[in-house]
Amino acid sequence: MTSHIVEINNLSFGYKNRMLHKGINMVFPRGKVVAIMGGSGSGKTTLLRLIGGQIKPSDGEVRVCGRVMHEQDRSGVYELRRKMGMLFQHGALFTDLSVYENVAFPMREHTDLPESMIRDMVLMKLNAVGLRGAHKLMPTELSGGMSRRVALARAIALDPSIIMYDEPFAGLDPISMSVIRDLIHTLNNVLGATSIVVTHDVEETFSFADYVYFVANGVVAAEGTPDDLRKSELPFVHQFVHGEKDGPVPFHYAASDYQRSLLEAIE
């Protein structure tokens, strides 16, 4: 059995005339936390959708547990998705369901467990994220950090082998950010899962990730451990890691000459 639970091999994907990915290769070892980083619009979240089988690559493949994702029929895709948990950006809780019902939803959808066992499991998952006492609350009664923690409890409801996080730190205050960071690391170790974290938050991610891929211009521009990338002299990586305004990633979107545009407008 391969030590890599997810493999991306020579993957290309795009929409119409715009290619997002051009021959990307990545591996995600069992039991590790791997981050995918890059600028906005670089296709990071799209990689999660490809891993989950929501979309198919234009070329290449995604292998999950040794099986090519886009070659699976509906039952095969659902079987592999049972091994996955997903923390959506901003939580994406069901607004008409309570905290308890949100976490219970995947258990009822994918298992035939009795309600008594579902109750015990829901409270156990909520306790793991520190919110067992909030099980009766509605999503509108939660803070941003609490919503993200409930969403995390739902993501681990079925004890997945793969947990995917889409911008887990976006919009959080420093305390909530630290809580989510520690939960990702702790749950990964407790569950023995593989965590795939899509993010642009350098400091938080570098504090716990085992390995990092930087995506830019459709390819893996750099990869390595956080320590490797902190020392990197590659212009793109240095600009991103240190948050510098000037560098390979331009401030201005490509446009014609500014002075000429003004003169044309006057004419």
- pLDDT tens digits, one per residue of 144-175: 888 888 998 998 888 889 999 998 887 777 88
Burial class of residue 2, CB neighbours in 10 A (0-12, 13-18, 19+): exposed
> For residue 226, what is the domain's CATH number?
3.40.50.300
Could you tell me which residues are beta bridge partners of residue 91?
88
* pLDDT band with cut points at 50, 70 and 90 for residue 100: very high
From residue 40, alpha-carbon distances to 107, 201, 237 in Å are: 34, 12, 14
- For residue 253, give the DSSP letter: P
Residue-wise pLDDT tens digits, 14-67: 887 788 899 999 999 988 999 998 877 778 889 999 999 888 998 999 999 889
Q: Supply the pLDDT for residue 243.
A: 61
* pLDDT band with cut points at 50, 70 and 90 for residue 8: very high
Sheet holding 67-68, edge to edge: 18-29, 4-15, 59-64, 67-68
Mean pLDDT of 1-22: 84
Q: Supply the pLDDT for residue 252.
A: 47
* pLDDT band with cut points at 50, 70 and 90 for residue 98: very high
Tell me how many domains the chain contains. 1
Structural domain that includes position 77: 4-266
Q: Supply the pLDDT for residue 255.
A: 65
Q: Supply the pLDDT for residue 251.
A: 45
Total-model pTM: 0.82
Closest alpha carbon to 13 in 54, 52, 47, 41: 47
Q: Supply the pLDDT for residue 258.
A: 67
Report the mean per-residue pLDDT for the chain: 84
